[in-house]
């Protein structure tokens, strides 16, 4: 059974701090996506990575796909209260047509 | 209306009731999805419809019955649910092949008594 484990599960930090969220699996993925979900809303796609070793930046957010395409990380620089939310990774395997979500990281940024 | 809408936003039902969840997408997409989000498990893909045909059913119990009458509408019919079915049910849509960027609705919070 494919599983995407995210760590940490919960994170509470002060505004201005940096943080990294990890998404790990023993399976290889064709692509991996990161979403952010705020209370009362559905997840919103932040980025898609498809190439091993790929790095993408979205303002203060940096996403990296592992060389072996089994893991990914999300780094936030100088976190702001608006970054608060549930961060989800999701991986797609083209060979088996499987799409699974990670266990989630709940981030709270305090002003 | 824009994006993906879901109704109702909240639903409380008994185990013997029959109810339906509705999803509508205003994005011109041709694939729609139902997900279940519960507190103790990762977001679970339940059903995928592409061009109005069901193309994926992830071992979902038969008490959940999806219906996709056209590419803009998706229903989830519920009957004889169990308390463990209480969760947030999310609908999403995408264009083209599966798992392109998906746009999610706000979800229906379901409580089964």
Instruction: For residue B73, give the 3-state DSSP assignment.
Output: strand
Query: Min CA distance, A22 vs chain B (Å)?
Result: 15
pLDDT tens-digit profile, chain A (111 residues): 678 999 999 999 999 999 999 999 999 999 999 999 998 899 999 999 999 999 999 999 999 999 999 999 999 999 999 999 999 999 988 777 788 999 999 999 999
Q: What is the pLDDT of residue A80?
A: 97
Instruction: For residue B2, give the 3-state DSSP assignment.
Output: coil
| A89/A66 Cα distance (integer angstroms) | 13
| A40/A25 Cα distance (integer angstroms) | 28
Closest Cβ opposite residue A42 in set B42, B44, B92: B92
Contact B89, B36 (CB under 8 A): yes
- Give the number of other CB atoms < 10 A from CB of residue A53: 11
Binned at pLDDT 50, 70 and 90, residue B98 comes out as: low
| Cis geometry, peptide bond prior to residue B8 (ω within 30 degrees of 0) | yes
Chosen for mutation from A5, A7, A42 (greatest number of chain B CBs closer than 10 Å) is: A42
Residue carrying the six token digits 């549930």: A86
Report the residue of chain A nearest B104, measured CA to CA: A42
Interface of A with B in 29-48 (CB under 8 A): 31, 40-45, 48
A104 token code pair:
């989630």
φ/ψ of residue A83, rounded to 5: -80, -10
Query: Min CA distance, A92 vs chain B (Å)?
Result: 7
A41 token code pair:
């809303």
A73 token code pair:
């990380």
Q: Do A100 and B45 touch (CB under 8 A)?
A: yes
Question: Concatenated DSSP letters for chain A?
Answer: ----EEE-SEEEEETT--EEEEEE-SS--SEEEEEEE-TTS--EEEEEE-STT-EEEETTEEEEE-TTSSEEEEEESS--GGG-EEEEEEEEETTTTEEEE---EEEEEE-
pLDDT digits 0-9 by tens, B31-44: 999 999 998 888 99
Query: Min CA distance, A41 vs chain B (Å)?
Result: 4
**Average pLDDT rounded to a whole number, residues B51-70:** 84
User: E strand or H helix at B110, and its extent?
Assistant: strand B108-112
Chain A residues inside the 8 Å CB shell of B97: none
Contact B68, B32 (CB under 8 A): yes
| DSSP-H helix ranges across B1-113 | none
| B91/B107 Cα distance (integer angstroms) | 7
Q: Do B99 and A104 touch (CB under 8 A)?
A: no
Closest Cβ opposite residue A41 in set B91, B101, B106: B106
Q: Can you say how many angstroms the Cα of residue B9 is from the centroid of all Cα atoms in its chain?
A: 12
Chosen for mutation from B41, B50, B99 (greatest number of chain A CBs closer than 10 Å) is: B99
Interface of A with B in 68-97 (CB under 8 A): 88, 90, 92, 97
Q: Do B106 and A97 touch (CB under 8 A)?
A: no
């Amino acid at each position: 059974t494919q599983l995407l484990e995210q760590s940490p599960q919960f994170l509470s930090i002060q505004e201005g701090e940096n943080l990294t969220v990890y998404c790990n699996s023993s399976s290889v993925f064709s692509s991996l996506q990161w979403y952010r979900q705020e209370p009362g809303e559905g997840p919103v796609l932040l980025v898609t990575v498809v190439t091993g070793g790929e790095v993408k930046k979205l303002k203060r957010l940096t996403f990296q796909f592992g060389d072996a395409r089994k893991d990914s990380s999300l780094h936030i620089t100088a976190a702001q209260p608006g970054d608060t939310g549930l961060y989800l990774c999701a991986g797609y395997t083209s060979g088996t047509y499987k799409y699974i979500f990670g266990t989630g990281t709940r981030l709270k940024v305090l002003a | 209306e824009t994006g993906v809408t879901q109704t109702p936003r909240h639903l409380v039902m008994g185990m013997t009731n029959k109810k339906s969840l509705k999803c509508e997408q205003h994005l011109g997409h041709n694939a729609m999805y139902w997900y279940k989000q519960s507190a103790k498990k990762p977001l679970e893909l339940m059903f995928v419809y592409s061009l109005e045909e069901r193309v994926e059913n992830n071992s979902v119990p038969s008490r959940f019955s999806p219906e996709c009458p056209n590419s803009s509408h998706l229903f989830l019919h519920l009957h004889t649910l169990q308390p463990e079915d209480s969760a947030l049910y999310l609908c999403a849509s995408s264009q083209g092949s599966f798992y392109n960027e998906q746009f999610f609705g706000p979800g229906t919070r379901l409580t089964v008594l």
